[in-house]
Amino acid sequence: QQQVRQSPQSLTVWEGETAILNCSYEDSTFDYFPWYWQFPRESPALLIAIRPVSNKKEDGRFTIFFNKREKKLSLHITDSQPGDSATYFCAASGDSAGNKLTFGIGTRVLVRP
Amino acid sequence: EAAVTQSPRNKVAVTGGKVTLSCNQTNNHNNMYWYRQDTGHGLRLIHYSYGAGSTEKGDIPDGYKASRPSQENFSLILELATPSQTSVYFCASGDWGANQDTQYFGPGTRLLVL
């Protein structure tokens, strides 16, 4: 079964708008949640990550909101720019998973100028 | 310069043939990973390693073997390639611990099995 779910599968926003990407997980022992982004024809790279000790992590225009009770998190991209157009992967890991990540299927974001 | 490199970058193989994908990292990371990426499936873990001499099965290991002869090198082996193994394969390295949970990905290998 899919341990990490993402929605929507694709998202189009206008430049300057806020894009909201959703993620949920099954394993309550997960305690590390990174988001990776991947530009076309490139490899994934870490964008931002959160641990459940906090419910919010901000890095510039990118913010993760985390709800441990509901096992949900979201990535908000404020003031979206065309250069943010990429596929965004939510991932999760925890002690029960060992030193490995479980990735969602990704959300493809297109920012129109 | 790139810390995780993969070879070959592109490969065409025949069904039933043997394929070896190689990965080298200069990050001195203990952990290395092999993923495949397919539309609609995201990144799926095939095999991973905690260090030289170790290999562990990931989520989709069937049809694949792995080898970690040294800290720097990690290979993925398809003994009998099948068309269903046509995909983009990514290698990654990383260490696990406080603030060191980032995985660094190589550029990928595009494999086509005919």
Q: CB-based contact (8 Å) between A45 and chain B? A: yes
Would you list the domain boundaries of chain B? 4-113
Q: Tell me how many domains chain A contains.
A: 1
Residue A93 belongs to a domain: no
* Measured distance CA(B96)–CA(A8) in Å, rounded: 30
Please check whether residue A23 lies inside any domain of the structure.
Answer: yes
Candidates B109, B7, B25; CA nearest to B68 is B25
A 10 A CB-CB count for B38 gives: 13
Which architecture does CATH list for B4-113? Sandwich (2.60)
- pLDDT value at B1 more than 70: no
CB-count burial class (<10 Å; 0-12, 13-18, 19+) for B5: middle
Q: What pLDDT, on a 0 to 100 scale, did the predictor assign at position A53?
A: 87
CATH label of the domain that carries residue A19: 2.60.40.10
Q: Does residue A17 lie within any of the structural domains?
A: yes
- Within a domain: residue A85? no
State the nearest Cα–Cα gap between B50 and chain A, in angstroms.
8
Residue A50 located in a structural domain: yes
State the pLDDT at residue B98. 58
Q: pLDDT tens track of chain A, all 113 residues? A: 568 999 999 999 999 999 999 999 998 888 899 999 999 999 999 999 999 888 999 999 999 999 999 999 999 999 999 999 999 999 998 866 667 899 999 999 999 99
Domain range spanning residue A31?
1-78
Q: Which residues of A touch B94 (CB under 8 A)?
A: 99
Alpha helices in chain A (DSSP H): none
Q: Is A1 on the interface with B (CB under 8 A)?
A: no
All residues at 6 or more sequence positions from B83 whose CB lies less than 8 Å from its CB, including other chains: B15, B113, B114
Q: How far apart are CA A98 and CA B1, in angstroms?
A: 30
Query: Would you state the pLDDT for residue B12?
Result: 97
Whether residue A111 is contained in a domain is answered as no
Identify which of A34, A43, A106 has the shortest CB distance to residue B106: A43
Interface A-B, measured as beta-carbon pairs within 8 A, has a size of 44
Nearest CA in chain B to A10: B40
pLDDT in tens, B68-109: 999 999 999 999 999 999 999 999 999 876 555 789 999 999
Distance from C-alpha of B78 to C-alpha of A35, rounded to nearest angstrom = 30
Answer whether A8 touches B (CB < 8 Å).
no
Determine the pLDDT at residue B2: 59
Contact between chains at A105 and B41 (C-beta distance less than 8 A): yes
Chain A residues within 8 A of B98 when measuring between CB atoms: none
Rg (chain A; Cα; Å) = 13
Tell me, what's the pLDDT at A98? 66
pLDDT at residue B40, rounded to an integer: 82
Q: What whole-number distance in Å separates Cα of residue B36 and Cα of residue B58?
A: 11
pLDDT (0 to 100) of residue A94: 81
Strands B103-105 and B87-94: antiparallel
The residue type of A68 is K
pLDDT tens across B25-70, in order?
998 999 999 999 998 888 999 999 999 999 999 999 999 999 999 9
Contact A99 B48 (CB under 8 A): yes
Gap between the Cα atoms of B50 and B71, Å rounded: 9
Q: Residue type for B34, please?
A: W
pLDDT at B95: 81
What are the C-alpha distances in Å from A18 to residues A15, A23, A49, A90, A106? 9, 16, 19, 18, 18
* A54 in contact with chain B, both atoms CB, cutoff 8 A: no
pLDDT of residue A52: 85
